[in-house]
Structure 1
Amino acid sequence: MKHPVDVHVGKRVRHRRWMVGMTQQQLAEKVGIKFQQIQKYETGMNRVSASRLWDIAEALGVPVAFFFEGADENPAEKTSTKADNVPADILADKEALELVRSYYAIPETQRRRLFELARVLSDVA
């Protein structure tokens, strides 16, 4: 049976890996393991040891604490409402992560304009 903390840590590994544009194979090579092991960590099937989590954090450029952020939240509080139409775990949506990555690739002045446009469009909807 998967432990909720292992699942949470795995999701955070996957989210960060997506955000930096790294494949499972690339992360595995940096850490010195096979990509199948990364798959097992990301799904929570296998528990990540402290030393391995340290290596993963270093490879992804985050502190170890990053993987535990939000782990103590009440699951009932994570559910979305129909009114806001936002998924409970927005970072679990690959399309949302790709959108964020693309957004930050845009030059800052254009990004600000795009942000204002999105705000206006969402207010109208």
Structure 2
Amino acid sequence: MKHPVDIHVGKRIRHRRWMVGMTQQQLAENVGIKFQQIQKYETGMNRVSASRLWEIARTLDVPISHFFDGLEDGAEADADRDFLSDKEAMELIRSYYAIPEHQRKRLFDLARVLSESAA
């Protein structure tokens, strides 16, 4: 049976890998394992050992704590679960961070105004 924390960590791995534009194969090669193992980690099927999580964090350029962000009493927050599984939202975020910072701020301000007027 999958543990909620393993599922959460796996989703955070997939999310970060996707955000940096890395394939499962590329991550696996950098960590020294087969891509099938990355698939199992990302679905929560297999637990990630501490040393492997350290390697993954180093490869994806995040602190290990990144993979535990959003946990509430050992279970995922509902908003985090919906966000990480929504491909459109993930693509929007990836595109957003590809925009130069000064333009990104203006886009953010526009999105905030639009969301306030829609409410």
Fold-level similarity (TM above 0.5): yes
**Matching of residue 109 in structure 1 with residue 108 in structure 2:** no
Distance 2:81 2:9 in 1: 17
> Residues 15-44 of structure 1: CA distance to partner in whole angstroms, max 9, x if unpaired?
111111111111011011111110000001
Aligned pair in 2 of structure 1 residues 64, 88: CA closer, same or farther (>3 Å)?
A: closer
- TM-score, normalised to structure 1's length? 0.82
Q: Cα–Cα, structure 1 residues 67 and 119, in superposed 2: closer, same or farther, change >3 Å?
A: same
1:96 to 67, 89, 94: 89
Compute the displacement of 1:67 (Å): 1.2
Instruction: Name 1:84's counterpart in structure 2.
Output: none
> Structure 1 pair 78/65, CA: closer, same or farther in 2 (3 Å)?
closer
TM-score scaled by length of structure 2: 0.86
* CA pair 67-105 structure 1, distance change in 2 beyond 3 A: same
2:47 corresponds to which residue? 47
Q: Tell me, in whole angstroms, the C-alpha distance in 1 between the residues paired with 2:112 and 2:53.
A: 37
User: Aligned with 2:72: secondary structure?
Assistant: coil
Give the Å deviation of 1:96. 1.3
Q: Percent identity?
A: 75
Q: Which runs of 5+ in 1 are unaligned?
A: 81-86
Gaps of 5+ in 2: none
Deviations 1:80-99 (A, max 9, x none): 6xxxxxx7531332221221
Higher helix content, 1 or 2 = 2
Aligned-residue Cα RMSD (Å) equals: 2.0
The reply on whether 1:78 has 2:77 as its aligned counterpart is yes
Largest Rg, 1 or 2 = 1
